[in-house]
Amino acid sequence: MYKFLKYEKNENIGILTIDRQEALNALNSAVITELEQAIGEVEADKELGALIITGAGRSFVAGADIGEQYPLDVAGGRKWGQRGSALMRRIEKLGIPTIAAVNGFALGGGCELALACDIILASEKAKFGQPEVGLGITPGFSGTQRLPRRVGLGKAKELIFSGKMIKAPEAKEIGLVNAVYAPEELMNGAIEMAKSFTKNAPIAVKYAKACIDRGMQMDIDDGIALENELFAMCYATKDQKEGMGAFLEKRPAKFENQ
C-alpha cells in the first residue's frame, strides 16, 4: 500500500516506520502524502490505543527534502510549510498517545515530527537539531512553536539560532527526550511504554491527553474548568464503572473503550 512507509499493528498498538533510507528518510512530497494517508488510517481505527512512529535504517527523519524546497518562491514556501504543519498538527491532535522512537538523525522536519508526538524516546545514536537557519530559512513545520513549549524559551532559542545538533544524553537533560535506550532496545522500550498506556481506560487516557494539551494553551482557571468537565464526563462511561468496580472487587479491570 505504501512505498515509503511500513504500517503494522502489535495488538492495539500501531507502529509506523518511515522507510526512505536512500535519503535518510527525508520528507519529500511523496512521503508526506503517504504520512497523510497513514494518519487518516490511524484516525479511523477505533481499536488503536497508541501509535509509535520511527525510522528505518540509521535515521529517524533527517529533515525535509532540500532539493524539493530549493526552487520554491514565497507562495511555494508558504504552501509547503502549511502542508507540513497541518500534518504535524493532525499527529499532535490524535486522541491516542503517540511515541516517537528516534533511532538516528531527527533534524529539521524530523525533529518537528518527533515534537508532534506526546513522548520522545531516543536511541543512544539519536541526534536532534533544527539546522534550518544555516540553509537561509526558519523551521517550517512548527518547530519554533513546539520546541520552546517542550524545552523552554532560552534553550529553544539557543538550538534554533545556532542550528547545532545535540546527542541523545543532552536531549534528555533538557527535557526533549523522556528516555534513552541502547539501539537494540529502543523499540522494545517504546512498545513497553505504549502497553503501559493501553492497559488503562482508553477514554480516560484520551480525556487526560485533551486536558493537558488544551489546558497548556489556557490560563489555569480555564484549564481547571476543562479538567472538571472531562472528569465529570468519565462518569458517563462503562469503563469508569469497570475500573472502580475492579478496584473494589480486587480484580484486573477489563476496559472496553465505552
How far, in Å, CA of 46 to CA of 220, rounded? Answer: 31
Compute the mean pLDDT over every residue in the chain, rounded to the nearest whole number. 97
Question: pLDDT by residue (tens digit) across 104-131?
Answer: 999 999 999 999 999 999 999 999 999 9
Share of the chain above pLDDT 90, in %: 98
- Residues forming the active site: 112, 132
pLDDT of 67: 92
pLDDT of 131: 97
pLDDT of 206: 97
In terms of C-beta density within 10 A (0-12 exposed, 13-18 middle, 19 or more buried), how is residue 216 classed? exposed
CATH number of this structure's domain 5-198: 3.90.226.10
pLDDT of 31: 97
CATH classification number, 202-249, choose in 1.10.12.10, 1.25.40.10, 3.30.1510.10, 1.10.10.350: 1.10.12.10
Question: pLDDT by residue (tens digit) across 15-37?
Answer: 999 999 999 999 999 999 999 99
Domain ranges of the chain: 5-198, 202-249
Q: What is the DSSP string of 160-223?
A: HHH--EEEHHHHHHTTS-SEEE-GGGHHHHHHHHHHHHHTS-HHHHHHHHHHHHHHTTS-HHHH
Question: pLDDT by residue (tens digit) across 36-86?
Answer: 999 999 999 999 999 999 999 999 999 999 999 999 999 999 999 999 999
Res. 1: pLDDT tops 90: no
Question: pLDDT by residue (tens digit) across 229-257?
Answer: 999 999 999 999 999 999 999 999 999 99
